[in-house]
Amino acid sequence: MPVKSVKNCCAHNIPVALVTGANGGIGKRISRELISNGYRVILSYRRSERALAFYHSLRQEYGTERVDCLEMDLSSVSSIKAAVQLLIEKETRIDVLVNNAGMLGHKPEVSPEGYEMHNMVNCFGPMLFTWLVKPLLHRGSRVVTTVSLVLFYASIPDHFPYPSRKFNRFRQYECSKLALTLLCLCLANKWEEEGITLNMVDPGIVDTPIIKLHKWVDPLADKLFRPFIRSPEKGAATSVFLSCDSSLNGITGTLYKDKKVRYLPERITNHPFADKIWHLLLEL
């Protein structure tokens, strides 16, 4: 999907946050919290009636000067590049970038580049955006990326980022979040000297559309399971903490859950595929 608009930008001298997947369950909450914490928030989403309705409702609630939008489809390299170009033309800085968008598919799909769709939307898409948007980041800017602790159980196949012969949605999701983590660690390392921090967050199991099983049990699970899992508000809390809390100044390359550090084992911090994935990103 081509990018359409960034509106009402630049004129305001208040910190700027950009949230991807801003119209999703957790993204909505993060966006609201960041506005409440004093940011002008650029909501990034794929165009849909739901997304536009959210954008307009926030502008009504908080004022047009506090809410802008950026349409971007993270499955498409051309959409990401167009979005970055527009952003760089209109904005002078981004203080907080929250890479929150993500997917858990239920059927095999490939991106226009032939990559398995989770690998594109959950890993390359957000990291390509982060890499290209660098001219707007500055010393003190924070990048907060949503991963998932399932990455601890993941492996990256030799044929990454291409699809496996047999599709397993959970294996694929785990793999994409591990690859995303490897890229975050790599960028955190590269940008440390420049004072741009990159941290990762696991939101817990949160009551949002992503956890749908796409099976007949869904209505039953909605009744029995959903009431007992985290609210989007709780799911958003650690992302907001990583975005704004002054105690985290200078902290980078770290994974958090429930506002606490989760240490990554050496098999992840020293992963043999990290370099390969980094070079694949640069080729996009």
Ligand X SMILES: NC(=O)c1ccc[n+]([C@@H]2O[C@H](COP(=O)([O-])OP(=O)(O)OC[C@H]3O[C@@H](n4cnc5c(N)ncnc54)[C@H](OP(=O)(O)O)[C@@H]3O)[C@@H](O)[C@H]2O)c1
Q: Examine residue 15 and say whether the peptide bond preceding it is cis (omega within 30 degrees of 0).
A: no
CB nearer ligand X, residue 46 or residue 59: 46
First to last CA, the chain: 17
Rounded CA separation 254/193 (Å) = 16
Residue 209, interface with ligand X (CB under 6 A)? yes
**Interactions with ligand X, residue window 105-124 (CB under 6 A):** 121
Residue 78, interface with ligand X (CB under 6 A)? no
Residue 74, interface with ligand X (CB under 6 A)? yes
Rounded CA separation 275/270 (Å) = 10
Out of 31, 130, 148, 243, name the contact with ligand X by CB under 6 A: 148
CB nearer ligand X, residue 13 or residue 255: 255
Residue 130, interface with ligand X (CB under 6 A)? no
Q: How far is the CB of 96 from ligand X (least distance, A)?
A: 16
Choose one: 33-41, 135-143, 206-214, 261-269; the region binding ligand X (CB under 6 A): 206-214
CB nearer ligand X, residue 167 or residue 225: 225
Rounded CA separation 40/36 (Å) = 9
Tell me whether residue 139 is exposed, middle or buried, using C-beta atoms within 10 angstroms of its C-beta: 0 to 12, 13 to 18, 19 or more: exposed
Distances (CA, A) of 217 to 104, 172, 214, 223, 229: 17, 22, 8, 10, 17
Q: How far is the CB of 11 from ligand X (least distance, A)?
A: 27
Joined together, the tokens standing for residue 100 give: 């929150």
In the complex, the residues that contact ligand X under the rule CB under 6 A are: 21, 23-27, 45-46, 48, 73-75, 100-103, 121, 146, 148, 202-203, 205-206, 208-211
